[in-house]
């Protein structure tokens, strides 16, 4: 989340954390092709947040590609970022060499859960049809596989996961899915497709699988993930705690 009109969210300044994250990426990874932000740009659909984010995108040397999260407002998002919409929904494709990156819109407005309705699923299928030969990478907000936390897998779930996987299994060369929403580092796989999420620029979520009411937040440091892909499509993901990045010491293997 980029933030809200409040100075802080849960006692955290997400705007400051985003700024430090972008500076860190610029400093250590300035060969990055693009930065993907996996949703929840604004906590409370405040136009000021989208306005600030427009400024951030326009002034970043590295292209930034955002998607919608459950806290976002689609109409506002599309009005500020028309280049990231495909008509009624905020879904789009970026192609780099022999790779395509598909950005999905899983938002159901005013609900914590997400879905891909019939129209959005049809759009996904046509994007996969158009780029049959290319290596494919997907970015989405909601987790397409259960994460083991009760509230996230029930109230905040991705409701159309069966239909989603039904489509994906018909295509080859889908390599990796990156998602947001759970505010945790998680790696998983389904068939030959690997997946990951990283921590948030706001609060983080504790892994308490026995907690049946609400999720618990904790004070883990925020991270961004570096997704390194070679020409064969092999992917490696590193999670970087950027607030403490100056604390490095010589080590011996
Ligand atoms: Fe979310």
pLDDT at 239: 98
pLDDT at 45: 84
> What single string gives the DSSP state of each residue in 5-74?
SSS-BTTB-HHHHHHHHHHHHHHH-TT-S-EEE-S--BSS--HHHHHHHHHHHHT-SS-EEE---TTS-H
For residue 174, pLDDT beyond 90: yes
Question: Per-residue confidence at 5, pLDDT binned at 50, 70, 90?
Answer: very low
Question: If you measure from the C-alpha of residue 43 to the centroid of ligand 1, how many angstroms do you get, rounded to a whole number?
Answer: 9
- As a whole number of angstroms, the distance between CA 53 and CA 210 comes to 37
Q: What does the buried/exposed string (b/e) look like for 129-147 if buried means 16 or more CB atoms within 10 Å of the residue's CB?
A: eebeebbbbbbbbbbbbeb
Q: Is the dihedral of CA 181, 67, 87, 171 positive or negative?
A: negative
135: left (phi over 0), alpha (psi -120 to 50) or beta: beta
Q: Which domains does the chain have, with CATH numbers?
A: 14-244 (3.60.21.10)
What is the average per-residue pLDDT within 79-97?
Answer: 95
For residue 49, pLDDT beyond 70: yes
Average pLDDT, the chain: 94
Question: If you measure from the C-alpha of residue 20 to the centroid of ligand 1, how many angstroms do you get, rounded to a whole number?
Answer: 21
What is the average per-residue pLDDT within 53-79?
Answer: 97
Question: If you measure from the C-alpha of residue 253 to the centroid of ligand 1, how many angstroms do you get, rounded to a whole number?
Answer: 39
Question: If you measure from the C-alpha of residue 97 to the centroid of ligand 1, how many angstroms do you get, rounded to a whole number?
Answer: 31
For residue 6, pLDDT beyond 70: no
Question: If you measure from the C-alpha of residue 232 to the centroid of ligand 1, how many angstroms do you get, rounded to a whole number?
Answer: 32
Q: pLDDT, tens digit, for every residue of 94-146?
A: 999 999 999 999 999 999 999 999 999 999 999 999 999 999 999 999 999 99
User: Which of 219, 222, 174 is closest to 25 using CA atoms?
Assistant: 222
Contact 58, 45 (CB under 8 A): no
Question: If you measure from the C-alpha of residue 116 to the centroid of ligand 1, how many angstroms do you get, rounded to a whole number?
Answer: 15
- As a whole number of angstroms, the distance between CA 172 and CA 184 comes to 28
Q: How many other CB atoms sit within 10 Å of the CB of residue 154?
A: 12
What pTM value is reported for the model? 0.95
Q: Which ranges of 101-149 does DSSP label H, i.e. alpha helix? A: 118-130
Question: If you measure from the C-alpha of residue 212 to the centroid of ligand 1, how many angstroms do you get, rounded to a whole number?
Answer: 19
pLDDT at 212: 87
For residue 224, pLDDT beyond 70: yes
Q: pLDDT, tens digit, for every residue of 203-216?
A: 999 999 999 888 99
pLDDT at 7: 53
pLDDT at 3: 45
Identify which has the larger pLDDT, 117 or 45. Answer: 117
Contact 50, 88 (CB under 8 A): no
């Amino acid at each position: 989340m980029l933030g809200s009109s409040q100075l802080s969210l849960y006692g955290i300044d997400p705007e400051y954390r985003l700024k430090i994250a972008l500076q860190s990426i610029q400093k250590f990874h300035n060969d990055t092709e693009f930065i993907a932000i996996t949703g929840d740009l604004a906590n409370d659909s405040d136009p000021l947040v989208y306005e600030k984010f427009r400024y951030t995108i326009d002034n970043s040397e590295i292209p930034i590609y955002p998607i919608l999260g459950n806290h976002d407002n689609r109409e506002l998002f599309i009005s500020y970022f028309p280049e990231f919409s495909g008509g009624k929904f905020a879904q789009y494709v970026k192609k780099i060499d022999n790779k395509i990156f598909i950005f999905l819109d899983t938002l159901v407005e005013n609900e914590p859960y997400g879905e891909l309705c019939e129209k959005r699923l049809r759009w996904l299928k046509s994007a996969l049809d158009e780029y049959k030969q290319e290596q494919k990478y997907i970015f989405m907000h909601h987790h397409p596989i259960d994460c083991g936390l009760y509230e996230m897998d029930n109230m905040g779930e991705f409701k159309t996961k069966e239909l989603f996987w039904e489509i994906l299994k018909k295509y080859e060369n889908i390599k990796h899915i990156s998602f947001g929403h759970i505010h945790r580092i998680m790696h998983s796989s389904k068939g030959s497709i690997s997946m990951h999420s990283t921590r948030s620029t706001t609060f983080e979520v504790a892994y308490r699988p026995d907690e049946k009411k609400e999720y618990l937040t904790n004070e883990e440091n925020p991270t961004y993930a570096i997704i390194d892909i070679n020409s064969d499509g092999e992917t490696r993901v590193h999670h970087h705690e950027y607030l403490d990045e100056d604390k490095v010491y010589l080590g011996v293997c």
